[in-house]
Amino acid sequence: MKHIAIGILGAATLGLMASAASAATLDTVKAKGFIQCGVSTGLAGFSAPDDKGEWQGIDADFCRAVAAAVFGDGTKVKFTPLSAKERFTALQSGEVDILSRNTTWTINRDTALGLNFVGVTYYDGQGFMINAKKLPGVNSALQLSGAAVCVQSGTTTELNLADYFKANKMEYSPVVFEKLEEVNAAYNAGRCDVYTTDQSGLYGIRLTLDSPADHVVLPEIISKEPLGPAVRQGDDQWYHIVKWTYFALLQAEELGITKANVDEMKNSPSPEIKRVLGQEADTKIGTDLGVSNDWVVNIVKAVGNYGEMFDRNVGSGSPLKIARGINALWTKGGLQYSPPIR
C-alpha cells in the first residue's frame, strides 16, 4: 500500500511543484541543513540500522560522505528507508536528495526514469542461495528447474531471473514480495526453495536466517549488477558534487589517505596529495564544485577512504567477509578508478 501512497504523493508533488523554476538541490539542502538520503529497508552491509538505530553500511556511509563534502559534517544526514518499488518515485518527487540504496545502474533508469547514476560503489552480480540441508545434491543453478524462487518485486533481479530460466529452458514458480523482510521471512519459513538477489545481498541475508550454516550460495552469477547512488536529472551541480564525492573516496584510497592520517597528509610533500586535500595555494577545486576547498579532508574524516568504507561494512572487518574482488582499485586489478582531481 505504501508505494501507492508514495506514488500518489509523487503525482501530487509533481502536480503542485511550482512549474516555472525549481531551486537547485544544493541550495535547498543547505537551507534545510541536512541531506535526505534514500536507503534500503535493511540490507546488512549496505544500509541497515544497528542496535542503536544508527544506519550502517556502504550506502549509508556514502550519504555521510556527501554530507561531509557539503557541510563539513558527516552527521547531517537523515535517512528514508524505501522499498524497491518506492525508491524511484521518492527520488523523482524530491522526497530524497540522493538515492543510495543498492540500486542497479541501467540505461532505462538513466533515461526514461529521469535519474542520473553517479558511479558504481559496488560491482555486484545476481546469484542464488539454497538450503543445502534440505536439497542435498544441488550444486548448480542449472539444477533448479521446477523450484519455487523467492524474489523481491520491481527489481532487475526479477527480470534477470525470468531471462535466466527462459534462456536455460527451465521452469520455476516465482514467489514475489514487495519488501525484503517479507522475502526473507518466506525463504526462512520454507515457502520457496531458492532465494535470488545480488550475491552480496545473499551473504548478508544468510546471516539473518535461523541456521546460516545450512544455506549455500550457488557459484553462478547470472547478471551484471553495478550498484550505485543516483540523483535527479536536470541539476548538474548537485550531480557533480555527488559524483566527485565518490571519486574523492577512490582517490583518497589510491593516495593512501586514511581517516587516521588525513591531518598529517595535509603537510605531505607530494603535490598531488596537497592538491586533492585542498592545500594548494589559491586552489579553486572545491569552490568550483560548490563546496569548501577542504571537502576531501572532511569526507575522509567522516567515513575514511573507499577501502576503509568497504572493509568496515562488507569486507574483512565485517561479518560478511566479502573479498574486494573486482571492487579493488584499478591499481590492484579491480575496476574502481577515479579520474584525476585537478
317: how many CB neighbours lie within 10 A of its CB? 12
Nearer to other proteins among residue 236 and residue 288 (C-beta) = 236
Rank residues 50 and 171 by Cβ distance to other proteins and give the closer one.
171
Indicate the residue among 161 and 297 with the shorter CB distance to other proteins: 161
**Cα(239)–Cα(279) distance, integer angstroms:** 24
Report in angstroms the alpha-carbon separations of 311 from 45, 90, 172, 189. Answer: 10, 30, 36, 32
Nearer to other proteins, 144 or 299 (CB): 144
Instruction: Tell me how many helices (H) and strands (E) the chain has.
Output: 14, 14
Applying CB under 8 A, the residues found at the interface with other proteins are 1, 3-4, 7-8, 10-11, 14-17, 19, 22, 84-85, 88-89, 92, 108-109, 111-114, 134-135, 138, 143-148, 153-154, 158-159, 161-163, 166, 172-178, 182, 185-186, 189-191, 193, 232-234
- Residue 311 and residue 303: Cα distance in Å, rounded? 12
8-state DSSP, 305: -
Give 93 or 251: the residue with its C-beta nearer to other proteins.
93
CB of 296 to other proteins, least distance (A): 31
- Nearest CB to other proteins, comparing residues 145 and 287: 145
- CB of residue 90 to other proteins, shortest distance in Å: 10
Nearest approach, Cβ of residue 95 and other proteins (Å) = 12
Cβ closest to other proteins, residue 159 vs residue 216: 159
A 10 A CB-CB count for 133 gives 11
Distance separating alpha carbons of residues 61 and 69, to the nearest angstrom? 12
CA–CA separation, 67 and 78 (whole Å): 10
Q: How near is the Cβ of 264 to other proteins at its closest, in Å? A: 45
Q: How far is the CB of 83 from other proteins (least distance, A)?
A: 9
Work out how close the CB of 260 gets to other proteins at its nearest, in angstroms, rounded to a whole number.
42
Lookup: cell for 216: 549455500
User: Distances from the Cα of 280 to the Cαs of 153, 277, 287, in angstroms?
Assistant: 50, 8, 13
How many C-beta neighbours within 10 Å does residue 167 have? 9
Distance CA 202, CA 220 (A): 13
Rounded to the nearest whole angstrom, what is the least distance from the CB of residue 219 to other proteins in the complex?
A: 19
**Smallest separation (angstroms) from other proteins to the CB of 210:** 13
For other proteins, which is the closer residue by CB, 138 or 277? 138
The conformation of residue 80, written as its DSSP 8-state character, comes to E
Cα angle 140, 328, 36; round to 5: 95
Contacts of 153 (CB under 8 A, 6+ apart): 84, 85, 176, 177, 178
Minimum CB separation of residue 195 from other proteins in Å reads: 13
| Cβ neighbour number for residue 41 with a 10 Å cutoff | 18
Alpha-carbon distance 56 to 128, whole Å?
A: 25
Closer Cβ to other proteins, 185 or 207, answer by number: 185
Roughly what angle, to the nearest 10 degrees, separates helices 25-32 and 58-71? 90
